[in-house]
Amino acid sequence: MGNDSIVAELAGCLPGGEIVSDPGRLAAYRHDETHAAAGEPLCAVVARGVADIVATMRFATRRRVPVVPRGAGTGLAGGATATAGCVVLVLDAMTAIRELSADDMLAVVEPGVITADLARAAAELGLMYPVDPGSAERSTLGGNLATNAGGFRCYKYGVTRDSVLGLDVVLADGRLLRTGGRTSKGVTGYDLTSLFVGSEGTLGVIAGATLRLRARPAGAPATAAAFYRDAARAAGAALALTRAGLRPSLLELVDDVTLRELEEWKAPGLPRGAALLLGQFDSSGSGRAAAAMARLCADTGALATEVVTGAEESGRLMDIRRQSLAAVSRLGRTMVEDFAVPRSRLPEMLTLIRRIADRHGVFVATVAHAGDGNLHPTFLYDHAAADVPEKVWAAAGEMFRAALELGGTLTGEHGVGTLKRRWLRDELGDEGIEVHRAVKDALDPLGLMNPGKVL
């Protein structure tokens, strides 16, 4: 049977979804935001409801066709890149917030809901959805769930997994599995909810979620900024804050390379040759806490400090961090990396990043979620390069190994995708890989779910 007949058969199975086979439209579904190699898909299915997902997976099992689930394509690990002959299952049209409950403090959502849209909807009820990735205005909740996304407020509120009560998951053969529920706690059986969060579409398709909401903090936020001679000193101050019992809702670090590019691009007046530590407090007494942070930073060698209160002024300082990737990306192509080390090893890891970058002759600008030791070195290379240069991969690999030697992990929030498969055994070990494969084989025995990703 030819491809056209197979696509026509799939189209006839869909209750309401749309088939995309036009090459021009299909090209938009081949890649995520990485430059990872992608194959030519058979077609894409734009799902309009759970029934479309079920029908697609039943068809895929019957015809032995691989399926690559996809949200908004904002991923940074190659996890949503198409493979040859696959069906790309596009979930960004499933945008309903089915329920918002102030009493139960939860939301029931479809996978295509934009992260920031849920945050705004919750705010209207005096509640908060705390997960705040840098791509919040573009990324979907389904994609966040698939990668266990983190973001700016992880230090206080945790990552996506910490906000998930239950999931609707369509398995590889089309069965619909419901995990968890609506209660704030529950230990019946294995924790299947946590298993699927962060599984990158390799075990099933997340078709809906029940998410935990929180009370909105009382009062206005307050933010403290402290500039240091280098990033390692700024990271040392982050440790001092923890020891002093100060707990900001977010604690971000911007190294001197990034700050220089921001100053040259659109923030004149930022200190040259300095690194920045930003802390934001969102509870009652936030102004006092921010002032205490500024005093502690001054005592630990900060070159300058600033404290602001209110959403507008805090937003001004946070824009320094939010615009950091754009400041570097304007100079060429980028590979944004993601690994984490124990908080106590963050100063050491920042020093190693600079040494490794210099030794390999690559441009690296680093930002970090300093509160949880999650680093994002951004590698810059020429616009004209068709692939990531070997010296960039060599430097990145050395950084990954250094992070593991310090007791860290290959990825804190972006996922493994295709970009980090080669280092997976270094962290998981032979036994860990064997157990991962056993889980994968049990839930996806035909190997149809997002093939080539993670394992």
**343 in Cβ contact with 372 (< 8 Å):** yes
Domain end among 29, 58, 90: 90
What is the pLDDT at residue 425?
97
Quick one: average pLDDT of 184-193?
94
Final residue before a domain boundary, out of 192, 215, 238? 215
The answer to the question of residue 59 being in a domain is: yes
Under the banding of pLDDT at 50, 70 and 90, the label for residue 234 is very high
Cα dihedral 391, 397, 403, 407, rounded to 10, equals -160
Backbone angles phi, psi at 190, to 5 degrees: -70, 155
Residue 433 lies in a domain: no
On whether residue 108 sits in a domain, the answer given is yes
Indicate the length of the chain as a whole number: 455
Comparing CA positions, the residue from 155, 102, 105 lying closest to residue 131 is 155
In the structure, what pLDDT confidence band is assigned to residue 170 with cuts at 50, 70 and 90?
very high
Do 12 and 108 belong together in one domain?
no
Is residue 365 over pLDDT 60? yes
The strand pairing partners of 250, in sequence order, are 280
pLDDT of the residue at 1: 57
User: 47 with 132, same domain?
Assistant: no
Looking up residue 164, the CATH number of its domain turns out to be 3.30.465.10
Do 245 and 304 fall within a single domain?
yes
Q: Parallel, antiparallel, or unpaired for β 339-340 and 374-381?
A: antiparallel
Average pLDDT over residues 276-286: 94
How confident is the model over 105-149, as pLDDT tens digits? 999 999 999 999 999 999 999 999 999 999 999 999 999 999 999
CATH number at residue 53: 3.30.43.10
Q: What residue type is assigned to position 147 of the chain?
A: T
Q: What is the pLDDT of residues 299-355, one digit of tens each?
A: 999 999 999 999 999 999 999 999 999 999 999 999 999 999 999 999 999 999 999
Which residues, in sequence order, are CB contacts of 454 under 8 Å at separation 6+?
Answer: 79, 199, 200, 202, 415, 416, 417, 421, 424, 436
Residue 128 and residue 145 in one domain: yes
| Domain's final residue, options 215, 243, 264 | 215
Q: Is residue 392 part of a domain?
A: no
Residue 157 predicted with pLDDT over 80: yes
Run of H or E including 87: strand 87-90
Q: What is the pLDDT of residue 218?
A: 83
**Beta strand 87-90 pairing with 43-46:** parallel
pLDDT digits (tens, 9 = 90+) for 33-62: 987 889 999 999 999 999 999 999 999 999
Global pTM value: 0.94
Per-residue pLDDT at 420 exceeds 70:
yes
Nearest-angstrom CA–CA distance, 146 and 371: 23
CATH number for the domain spanning 241: value is 3.30.70.3450
Mean pLDDT of 93-103: 98
% of the chain exceeding 70 in pLDDT:
100
Q: Do 453 and 418 form a contact (C-beta atoms < 8 A)?
A: yes
> Would strands 127-128 and 214-215 be described as parallel, antiparallel, or unpaired?
antiparallel
Q: What is the chain's Cα-based Rg?
A: 22
* Containing structural domain, residue 10: 3-90
d(C-alpha 32, C-alpha 73), whole Å:
4
Using the predicted structure, report yes or no on whether residue 370 has a pLDDT greater than 60: yes
Does residue 160 share a domain with residue 114?
Answer: yes
- Which of helix, strand or coil describes residue 305? strand
What's the token pair of residue 369?
A: 């979620």
Q: Are residues 192 and 136 in the same domain?
A: yes
How confident is the prediction for the chain on average, in pLDDT?
96
CB 311 within 8 A of CB 286: no
Q: Give me the mean pLDDT over the 75-103 stretch.
A: 97
- 40, 43, 33, 37: which is closest to 12 by C-alpha? 43
